[in-house]
Amino acid sequence: MKNGTCYNVEAVMVRQGAFAVLHNHPDNTPPSSGDIYAILQMYNNNNLIRTTYIFTGGETYAIVLVNPNEAKAFVANYPADITPEYSPEFPEPLFDLLDLGKVRGLGDSNEGRSTAMNHMLEKYNAGITIMKEKNGKFTPLKATEYIDNDGVTRNRFAPSPCN
């Protein structure tokens, strides 16, 4: 186990056979874009690792690498915007879509922000999904874009049930 800050985490040697990584967000923040980019890096170092669990604000989230090839293409097409002293961020077009989801229907809670992020990942075929633990089971966070009576997408989102 290693300590770090949200901007600088020491590399952790993962035991052979490990299939997941756990970490917490002590400031009770939701899964971040840095967590999304990190799951592919961890997989590239150990192809058994496909999940990172995040403990935050009394909630547990899982970021799951569902399709490594799609994830590699996503990162190649949308490389992280890296600024010193900040966690890696999505590039502007994705960041803007994520921001719209947070403010237009899903809210700024950890679950709302994570649902908006998962919607964006699905929309761009990232090969990564975000799940939340509810009643002892992990379920994907799903959102649906609202379409008005004229059939126009208004970039308003609502949580949608999943199977």
Residue 2 is predicted with a pLDDT of 47
Residue 159 — pLDDT band, cuts 50, 70, 90? low
Please state, for a pLDDT cut of 70, what percent of the chain lies above it: 72
Q: Which of 77, 79, 90 is nearest to 119 (CA)?
A: 90
Q: Which of 124, 117, 67 is nearest to 89 (CA)?
A: 117
Residue 36 is predicted with a pLDDT of 93
Enter the pTM of the model: 0.79
